[in-house]
Structure 1
Amino acid sequence: MQTVTLSLFRFDSPLSRLWVLGQMGAARFVLPRVPGLAFWKLCGSGTGEGFTPRPNWGVWAILSVWDSMKAAREGFEKKPFSSWTARADERYTIFMEPASARGHWGGVRPFQPAGEVTGPVAAMTRATVKPARALRFWGRVPDISAKVGADPNVMFKIGIGEVPLLHQVTFSVWPDTATMAAFARRGPHADAIRAVRDEGWFNEELYARFRLTGTSGTWQGHDPLAHSIQQEAA
């Protein structure tokens, strides 16, 4: 069974932030040699709710697709994961299994869906924004970001990206698919979806849903998803 992990790392000191900035280049030579790692992306993050064009220099992410949970556990003991964990002031990893996916990421389909989700669901959207449409896209984002941040149903959220302004990833966790779908159908988010279709904002898109299988570490001093995963396991 394919395992997908989103690992977030927080770096507080200027020296550690400079180090991880260098890792955005150096880690690319190490990751292809990690056994069982089928797909990976190194990402920065946004400020505020995360869904903003202003970078957060203290938070970075590695998105990984593994052949199995065993490969993921063993892979985290190797570089660059081990060195990032050792340097970071805080680290949090979410373990998932793909439930559905459509679209491409860098010309490939990285996720192998394995069925529907019951209980908490993680949603990921990834898009390559057309440069000519970037201003219109980012003009919509603050309204969506504010709505996501104010929605009491959102259990976790972050915005990350490979290339500032143009390659964007949104990640959020919801109690169930019905709650997530209800949010998507109303307000600024629904308006933005229509604009994407009508005006052709993206060169490439990917939409995926995941079943949560575990977490490791803390974020902002606690594990924000521990309770929901325990309930699902019960």
Structure 2
Amino acid sequence: MGQTVSLSFFRFATPQARLWALTMMGAARFAMPKIPNLHFWKLCGSGTGEGFTPIPNTAVYAILCAWPDLDIARNRIENETLFLRYRQRAAENWSVFLSPTSVRGAWSGKTPFVAQNIDNDAPIAALTRATVKAGVLHRFWRQVPDISAVIGADPNVLFKIGIGEIPWLHQVTFSIWPDADAMAQFARKDGPHARAIKSVREGNWFREELYARFTVVGDDGTWGGASPLKRSEAA
């Protein structure tokens, strides 16, 4: 198996732990480049509610990484000091491991993921990352909460969250679906999501954007007391 992308989520319960996590948005930037085999990384905060909102959630943070393969990804997240420190302070943590299947666009001027041909019945994940133009922030964030509500109400979605490097300007939406059909049905629906996509295209709202799809190849930890992938296994 080729490149593996990990997305690790950490939930912090106490004010002291949340303050530590906030400071690590800056401090961890010095430690991340020293981790062996790490090809690409991003430190992210999150939004409240269903996740796709402009109001920051001070309890939840995420680390996205790209590694050469799954074994290295699991080993680094389990044993590297930085990840150990996050887990020690977090009330709950969950890492999902992903194999890229399609990539379009750029993130910080780079194409960070390498698409691979994978054919199996595992759940799939969608990631959209965009740098929103400052002049359209109000219009963009006026539509996003409606999209969030629709995704949250979809019975097929296994997991969804909105994260970002810089609040309001740099946004990432991430969701996991049981299969491609379930994700495609949501994307084709006429509603807030379709209208927002139309507005983005017509208004040229994004300065930089990336769209990626993945096959889920594993996970560790829990979120909300269990692995979000368990819903797919129980279906």
Partner Cα separation in structure 2 for residue 130 and residue 116 of structure 1: 35
- 1:97 maps to which residue? 99
Assess, with a 3 A threshold, how the Cα gap between structure 1 residues 212 and 198 changes in structure 2: closer, same or farther.
same
Partner Cα separation in structure 2 for residue 229 and residue 101 of structure 1: 27
Amino acid at match of 1:151: D
Decide which moves more: 48-57 or 65-74. Answer: 65-74
- 1:51 maps to which residue? 52
- 1:169 maps to which residue? 172
Decide which moves more: 80-89 or 178-187. Answer: 178-187
Partner Cα separation in structure 2 for residue 74 and residue 216 of structure 1: 12
Amino acid at match of 1:220: G
| Unaligned ranges ≥5, structure 1 | none
- Equivalenced residue count is 231
Q: Which runs of 4+ in 1 moved over 4 A?
A: none
Amino acid at match of 1:128: T
1:181-220 equivalent positions in 2, closer than 5 A:
181-186=184-189, 187-220=191-224
| Unaligned ranges ≥5, structure 2 | none
From 142, 146, 154, give the equivalent of 2:145: 142
* Contact map agreement 1:214 1:229 (CA 8 A) in 2: no
Partner Cα separation in structure 2 for residue 230 and residue 23 of structure 1: 37
* Contact map agreement 1:215 1:226 (CA 8 A) in 2: no
Partner Cα separation in structure 2 for residue 71 and residue 2 of structure 1: 10
What is the alpha-carbon root mean square deviation over aligned residues? 1.4
Decide which moves more: 103-112 or 115-124. Answer: 115-124
1:11-22 equivalent positions in 2, closer than 5 A:
11-22=12-23
Tell me the alpha carbon deviations over residues 131-173 of structure 1, each in whole angstroms, 9 at most, x when there is no partner.
0011100011111111001110111111101000010000001
Partner Cα separation in structure 1 for residue 110 and residue 219 of structure 2: 27
- 2:127 maps to which residue? 124
**Deviation (angstroms), 1:72:** 1.1
**Deviation (angstroms), 1:106:** 0.2
Question: SS of the counterpart of 2:227?
Answer: coil
* Contact map agreement 1:212 1:229 (CA 8 A) in 2: no
* Contact map agreement 1:155 1:174 (CA 8 A) in 2: yes
Q: Percent identity?
A: 57
